[in-house]
Structure 1
């Protein structure tokens, strides 16, 4: 493969890959060049929303110790978008005005992520390349600079309109509301969190948000962004003529993998950049793709790792991307060692736990969530409990006494326990009410997670590592993160980490 590795993209997944390879770079066994389109080093994009509402600062977003990386020998080229790749010459060409015009490579990793979707609305330009030129007061909230717009509105307790009722949209809406803003959420489907909740859970979530003071307009079609005479955002007009006035419009309409550079290089693309289960985008094993831009697709009907001819599209989650980065780094190290032994295949991640990270609303879901209690398709059983007055709901989907999917609303400890059992594949208690009572006054501890249960799915941290960190003196979630990486990705596992701290008698958050 050679010793010149070029990484295109500088998001959290690229950072994890280079972090894993730093010892090889420092030892002179590998030369790594990272090319990033943004002028700053890689940062945790998942936490931009937290920054935007003032709950964290710039330092908390940082992922790269730039002096340490450069000292180890990593070459960083920032503010330099790659325009095209000449695979025959093994050269990546950079945009005019970049510090260099081209970079050669022996192996290429595309970690270019995804771009925010800009809907087709009167009053704005839906061209993806025009995101930086959206009207003042309209943002997709992908960068710290975008976050500064919301930060300014939050500071004066302004009015925020969020277009999109998915996880990101609701997290931002709740965070802004909790900071004192007047918030309206517009969603084009009949119920919120359409991909992660069924109709009952989505409807109850809407009621919970309404009680909390967040206005929701569901099953609505947005038509026009209305601007003041000076060009600033004034309001969002819906198809029925209703005008939702505001100081800021957040477009939380999902993302699309970046495939342009790969397509221009003659690589196959579909929803993302097509790779096999070895993350190879070409037939020579010199070009790889990881993270939100990568779509795993294996056409080999005899393959025992990938479902034949069925792609695993980009998950849009940081955990699967980090896992790909860690696996690819291990492969690169093996090739540097000329190790002929085959590697264990990259594990298949069909789904992951989705958590709504908000102070006032607790929601988590994973796996198979369809079906009703009076149905038992394919040997499954469904248990459902709901309390509309309390805004609480739990739905468990079981197969052979094992949890294959769940929804939990308003039940933080139950959600944490279900997340553990879903990830571990452990059997659930014969009396399912034990799980519900975790959030009641007569809380019953169902037992500690097994040592091998994955607590932090982003960083792949098992329970035994977290337990060891607590035994070694960690007394807060932040200290556990510094010691194990747990909780440093999306932050969804932090309630579970705090639960273990509470069991151990450490109460600091």
Structure 2
């Protein structure tokens, strides 16, 4: 077993790995945020005011100053420390504060950065009142701005933008959601399901614009945002703007060290990069051509790598994740959304679909041969557990009419 493992990135993947390794390895966790590791999936609940920030904290890593055992625990946790360079020959990580940390094994869990579109009015940096929605600091800054009557514009109608719009509306802000695509959450949902999400948001008071292209930001005195300019010249008044335009894997550190990078940091089934002493997991990692960007994949990768590095299962291999995307849109008459696999059928696929506009319920599954290959469900999600298990396990479907897949027990 290697004597010293350094993990760069204290997000969900890095913190989980460090927590699993700490009882058996000398592990150091470096995180550039000052906060204890937290569950990024629940940031919208903090923005909505449902949870206090401490509620979304992850289980503490031994060695964290606020964790059990304090700073003298089984590992070392350094918060607010940014890694700036990897010296692969010396096996050392250099940090922005001038310190250097030696490693026998290095794990990159650097996550992803928000995509900041090239908008007019941002050449000198983002105006005051404009924030991505990626970190706890972003969330707290937006929460401080949002109050009853605040004019808020969310740019981007994917999963993150929809979550932010819902949360701001729950805080009482007057929210406009501007999305360039034809339907909301179009990466995960089909048009019918996206239309139901839109109806639900509009019921919360959110003004939704699709096929809407944003050209720039306007700001007033002291570079404080005052509006969002659309491509047709129309200006949306704004005191608060959320940039929810997607994320991009953080690969700069790896690329500068000469590691193989495509969309993400390329890893094999051992989650090993092109350097055998360096691994990558979570949102920054690309496995078999896929960057997952999902919490489920981050957890599975962390568990697999922990088994290998700790010696508990030296042959453990990561072969990919079949993950379900799930979202709850709160407010009066909350709406549950779940999507998995391929919601768009290919020629020859069977499609089973049930819709109840009155109740805001929608169910659709795609079947290829005797396998379930994708689905979208909104409203009552009683069937989602059985369907997800069949999809994740790639199991043959029961010999029954396909309509049974959408009954309350999923036909199983």
* TM-score > 0.5 by shorter chain: yes
Unaligned runs of 5+ in 1: 25-29, 298-310, 439-444, 450-509
Partner residue, 1:501: none
Q: TM-score, normalised by structure 2?
A: 0.90
SS of residue in 2 equivalent to 1:362: strand
> 1:480 corresponds to which residue?
none
- 1:397–1:406 CA contact under 8 A, matched in 2: yes
Where do residues 40-189 of structure 1 align in structure 2 (5 Å cutoff)? 40-63=35-58, 64=60, 66=64, 67-68=67-68, 70-95=71-96, 98=97, 101-125=99-123, 134-189=126-181
Does the 8 A contact of 2:129 with 2:145 survive in 1? Answer: no
Shift of residue 434 of structure 1?
Answer: 5.0
Distance 1:428 1:235 in 2: 55
Give distance in 2, aligned partners of 1:179 and 1:78: 30
CA distance in 2, matches of 1:416, 1:247: 41
Give the TM-score normalised by the residue count of structure 1.
0.74
Secondary structure of residue in 2 paired with 1:413: coil
Report the Cα distance in structure 1 between the residues aligned to 2:296 and 2:114, rounded to whole angstroms.
Answer: 19
Deviation, 1:94, is 1.1
Task: Note the alpha carbon deviations across 1:82-138, whole angstroms, 9 max, x for none.
Answer: 11111011111111xx2x52111111111111111111111114xxxx9xx522211
Check if 1:259 corresponds to 2:228.
no
Answer whether contact 2:363 2:377 (CA < 8 A) is retained.
Answer: yes
Q: What is the aligned residue count? A: 402
For the 8 Å contact 1:367–1:404, the answer to whether it is kept is: yes
Q: Work out the CA distance in 2 between the residues paired with 1:169 and 1:178.
A: 14
* Aligned equivalents of 1:253, 1:358: Cα separation in 2: 19
Partner of 2:328 in structure 1? 357
- Of Structure 1 and Structure 2, which has the larger fraction of its residues in helix? 1
1:13 is displaced (CA, Å) by 0.7
Residues 388/5 of structure 1: CA separation in 2 closer, same or farther (3 Å cut): same
Counterpart in the other structure of 1:22: 22
Decide whether aligned partners of structure 1 residues 112 and 74 sit closer, same or farther in structure 2, where only a CA change above 3 A counts: same
More strand per residue: 1 or 2?
2
Task: State the Cα RMSD in Å.
Answer: 2.3
Match of 1:293 in 2: 284
2-structure distance, mates of 1:429, 1:243: 56
Corresponding residue of 2:187: 195
Tell me, yes or no, if the aligned pair for 2:355 and 2:363 is still in contact at 8 Å: yes
**CA separation of 1:261 and 1:59: change in aligned 2, threshold 3 A:** same
Large movers: runs of 4+ above 4 Å: 431-437
Gaps of 5+ in 2: none
Equivalents in 2 of 1:2, 1:152: separation in Å?
Answer: 45
Q: Which one of the candidate residues 209, 218, 234 is aligned to 1:242?
A: 234
> Is residue 305 of structure 2 the alignment partner of residue 328 of structure 1?
yes
Per-residue CA deviations over 1:204-253 (Å, capped at 9, x if unaligned) read 43234334432111111101111122322211110011211122111001
CA distance in 1, matches of 2:370, 2:294: 28
Aligned equivalent of 1:347 = 319
Q: Deviations over 1:119-172 (max 9, x none)?
A: 1111114xxxx9xx5222111122222212222234434222111110111011
